[in-house]
Amino acid sequence: MGRIESADVVVVGAGIIGAACAEALSAAGLRVLVLDRGAPAAATTASGEGNVLVSDKGPGPELDLAVASRRRWPDLIDSLREELGDELARVEWEPKGGLMVATEPEAVGPLAALTRAQRAAGIEAVDLDAAAARDMEPHLTERVEAAAHYPEDAQLQPVLAAMALLAAVRARGGEVRGGVEAHGVVYDPGGAVCGVRVDGDAIPCGAVVNACGPWAGHLSVAAGAPVEVLPRRGMVLVTAPLPPVVRRKVYAADYVAAVASGAVDLQVSPVVESTATGTVLIGSSRRRVGFDDALEVEVLQRLARSAIALFPVLSGVPVMRAYGGFRPYTPDHLPVIGEDPRTPGLWHATGHEGAGIGLAPATGRLLADLMCGREPELDAMPFRVDRPAVIVGSAVER
Amino acid sequence: MSRVVVVGGGPAGMAAAEAAASRGVEVVLIDAAPKLGGQYHRQDGLSSEDRLAPSAAHADRRWTSPENVEHVPDASAWAVEAVDGGHRVHVRVGLADDPSREGRVFATRALVLATGAYDRALPFPGWDLPGVFTAGAAQALAKGQGVAVGDRVVVGGTGPFLLPVASSLVGVGARVVEVAEANAAVTGWLSRPTGAMAGWSKAGELARYAGVLARHGVPYRSRTAVLAAHGAESVESVTVARLDRDWSPVPGTERRVEADAVAVGFGFTPQLELALAARCRLEDGFVAVDAAQGTSVDGVFAAGELTGIGGADLAAAEGAVAGFAAAKRLGAVVEAPLRAMSRVRAGRRFARALAAAYPVRSGWQDWLRDDTVVCRCEEVAKRALYRAVDERDVGAAGPLKLVSGAGLGLCQGRICGRNAAELAGLDDPAAFAKRPIAVPLRLSELAEESRAEAPVDAEAAARPFGIDR
């Protein structure tokens, strides 16, 4: 396959969001070039647990996006399988359900209120008492007070998923180029995007999608259209493979609050789940430390403690490794999906924080609908670029 | 804290501890083994006598730990963390299977990493059969426990290290059927008057090993490798063949050799976990150091095989330099250790010559069949690695692991990482080396509160010798 000299759209960032946008745009018949300064799916996407959740959000635009995405993933995987074959479309999709657990009496009321509101928004959320919760997860702590079961929560393997989407882009005549950094955007005299600047060169294109995840702020500044996207660090512990101990994705009721918090300080809320290979993943932590990736033992200690609190049986299990990554954080906790009104032809698709894997397909479709002038299935307004929390300054210097 | 913390009790770590202690500084010497010495001086674990010197240059005297050195044996350093003014080393003390092993934390302004290297094995068909050992494991069993890995052993790989391995096997009564050196013969290299060997004290030692092998009639063949091991339950025979310059087998030269064990060693891979956790800069896969063994990170020194493969003498010399520099950082009066520094320079010349003479050539990839397992923990075959690249365009270690499974098992890529990276065309030798938890530990151990430990004392440097007494 020859190298693409010019593209309808250049997507910058080959993580799950860039891949989903590129897939949706190429499905719409556009000629897409995906650039990544590193290797595809090697940064934030490779550091996630692969969550496809509807349980961790209260009613609102993000939940709408999550519901649309949750509906879309299985269809998308089916169509990729048809297009690419079983092996390339293998993403380890597992609709295993989630269990949110309240271990403190004072968490019971808020959990019930959350599930009530979620049910009103069309989410399947089943309230359980302690006995029913322990029936579902026999190794759960005896301190469980109440729980909620979310049958729709699912998991997939995020690197495989991103690569399947990128394989579809290639199969449709697009190209994915790793090791190429986009240094900025080229505008025509009328102020519209006409290319992407790469090392000593410019690639002509009609539109640019900024899908750089936690680094989206950097590209937005280089493109003269800054948006407020910040890194928020997370760590995950991985145990040695175990016989089945944890069946679903199990997490504490304070997880929703930790996700929604904007705190700079360390937030730790246990999320425990098994993978297909038998290892158990233990999350989740959040701390805004810039792009500092130094090891913090305190984070690992608190993750370990919180996981043992949920599943005391894990106490003697060996931990094989820890890994960390940066989530793209926006101050109002909503993704940014749409065209930048300051710079026609520059689009942003970022700010999904820890939910990018789950939100990817609906994000890609929304962006493609907007770019192609189709009626979107979701209200795009809440995700628009020019909202006060996200837009940095209004004047654009180029 | 105003003490030097040394991680690793081989020749480099021992020399570092001794050097720092000789300048009156308190030293903590952390080592994973029950006894000091590392692989080079592997001691009989049952003997009550410490009988070693930090390097061959001091082989005539016993090494006794100076009184201001606290030796912490059976200690697994599982994390290094940057804190204000220095680093914290997190350690579990006790045997790995002991549920009551203790957690300790050592804070220091002067950290010496001397974590060494482990030997590299290349995969080949049958390498997962019982009876196949790394050369280092075969040597450790022979030296540490007097056990021979087999009755008829083939030693294969590359580099001078194969000679002491074969020699220690002979020493414990094994019949070494053949030594297969994939590059040119070590003996030829030893006698070459290139200057690389000038002043290198190990030349005589190697000649002695060669003599032992000659006396026992052990054939030593260059440009030869073990291409496959065969057997139903365990190794019964191996296929040996000649190699061309790129290590592709020369057709028609294959021979079957009866053997019940194989020991293979293809150079060494530095144990980089702690250095990477401290965020030391690497160069060609080794920790980059300055003339005082300082890494790119303030207050962190590295010595021994972490900085390049050059044997015990170089390691000990680097250790001494690092120990003096670490003591100086804590305020001790230290003159430049000129003798040790000159031994380092000579050792590095030798190490460079060694690396040039005994590289691992890409032809080894042809020894593997498509279904030859590369990652034993997760049973990932060569085919899966090629497919990850060809079909999914994998271009970095993280995705390679997650797509193929290689390196995700219990060994975390220590054995297979470099091989998997090379097969996938990733040219970073340390691609798999980042392991924030350097050794596995139980979740409950991780959950434990760190025992209160005085913070790194930034003022200590202002006090003479920086010693609390």
Which residue, of B230, B250, B266, is where some domain finishes? B266
Give the pLDDT score at B393.
Answer: 86
A246-258 residues labelled b (16+ CB within 10 A) or e (exposed): bebbbbbbbbbeb
The residue of chain B nearest to residue A39, with distances taken between CA atoms, is: B395
Q: What is the pLDDT of residues B275-329, one digit of tens each?
A: 999 999 999 999 999 999 999 999 999 999 999 999 889 999 999 999 999 999 9
Which residue, of B217, B238, B266, is where some domain finishes? B266
Has residue B348 been placed in a domain? no
Which among B445, B446, B449, B451 is the top mutation candidate for probing chain A, defined by the most A β-carbons within 10 Å of its own β-carbon?
A: B446
Whether A204 has a pLDDT exceeding 90, the answer reads: yes
Range of the domain at B135: 121-266
Query: What is the DSSP-derived secondary structure letter of residue A291?
Result: B
Query: Are residue B277 and residue B245 in the same domain, yes or no?
Result: no
Query: Are residue B61 and residue B39 in the same domain, yes or no?
Result: yes
Instruction: Assign B432 a pLDDT band (cuts: 50, 70, 90).
Output: confident
Q: Distance between CA A316 and CA A245 in Å, rounded?
A: 13
In which residue are the tokens 């010349």 written? Answer: B349
Query: Are residue B145 and residue B184 in the same domain, yes or no?
Result: yes
The residue of chain A nearest to residue B384, with distances taken between CA atoms, is: A87
Q: Distance between CA A368 and CA A169 in Å, rounded?
A: 14
Q: What is the pLDDT of residues B329-350, one digit of tens each?
A: 999 999 999 999 999 999 999 8
Asked if B437 lies within 8 A of A304 by C-beta distance, the reply is no
The region of weakest confidence among A225-234, B37-46, B167-176 is B37-46
In chain B, pLDDT over 70 holds for what percent of residues? 87
Asked if A314 lies within 8 A of B448 by C-beta distance, the reply is no
CA A389 to chain centre: 20
Query: Are residue B62 and residue B142 in the same domain, yes or no?
Result: no
How far B75 CA sits from the closest chain A CA (Å)? 17
User: Does residue B233 sit at the A interface (CB-CB below 8 Å)?
Assistant: no
Whether B250 has a pLDDT exceeding 90, the answer reads: yes
Which residue, of B266, B290, B313, is where some domain finishes? B266
Whether A211 has a pLDDT exceeding 70, the answer reads: yes
Q: What is the pLDDT of residues A87-115, one digit of tens each?
A: 999 999 999 999 999 998 988 999 999 99
Which among B78, B443, B444, B451 is the top mutation candidate for probing chain A, defined by the most A β-carbons within 10 Å of its own β-carbon?
A: B443
The residue of chain B nearest to residue A303, with distances taken between CA atoms, is: B447
Asked if B392 lies within 8 A of A163 by C-beta distance, the reply is yes
Asked if B437 lies within 8 A of A314 by C-beta distance, the reply is no
The residue of chain B nearest to residue A161, with distances taken between CA atoms, is: B403
Calculate the alpha carbon distances from B40 to A75, A303, A305, B53, B108 in Å.
Answer: 59, 39, 40, 11, 27
User: Does residue B453 sit at the A interface (CB-CB below 8 Å)?
Assistant: no
Upper half-sphere CA count for residue B2 (Cβ side, 13 Å): 19
What secondary structure does DSSP assign to B385-425, as a single string?
A: HHHHHHHH---SHHHHHHHH-TT-STTTTTTTHHHHHHHTT
Of B414, B289, B335, B392, give the one whose Cα is nearest residue B22. Answer: B335
Report residue B398: phi and psi, to 5°.
Answer: -55, -55
Total domains in the fold of chain B: 3
Which residues in chain B are closer than 8 Å to A314, comparing Cβ atoms?
443
Report residue A225: phi and psi, to 5°.
Answer: -135, 75
Q: B279: helix, coil or strand?
A: coil
Asked if B399 lies within 8 A of A320 by C-beta distance, the reply is no
Domains located in chain A, CATH noted: 7-75+158-228+333-383 (3.50.50.60), 98-151+231-329 (3.30.9.10)
Query: Are residue B302 and residue B413 in the same domain, yes or no?
Result: no
Asked if A297 lies within 8 A of B450 by C-beta distance, the reply is yes
Edge-to-edge strand ranges of the sheet holding B237-242: B224-230, B237-242, B255-258
Which residues in chain B are closer than 8 Å to A312, comparing Cβ atoms?
none
Q: Which candidate from B403, B436, B444 shows the least CB-CB separation from A163?
A: B403
Query: Are residue B91 and residue B157 in the same domain, yes or no?
Result: no
Q: What ipTM did this prediction achieve? A: 0.90
For residue B32, the domain's CATH number is: 3.50.50.60
Query: Are residue B127 and residue B240 in the same domain, yes or no?
Result: yes
Q: Which candidate from B403, B442, B443 shows the least CB-CB separation from A159?
A: B403
Residue pairs spanning A and B at CB distance below 8 A: 119
**Other CB atoms closer than 10 Å to residue A84's CB: what's the count?**
18
- Mean pLDDT (chain A) is 93
Give the pLDDT score at B45.
Answer: 44
Q: Distance between CA B442 and CA B459 in Å, rounded?
A: 36
In chain A, pLDDT over 90 holds for what percent of residues? 83
Query: Are residue B323 and residue B454 in the same domain, yes or no?
Result: yes
The residue of chain B nearest to residue A36, with distances taken between CA atoms, is: B395
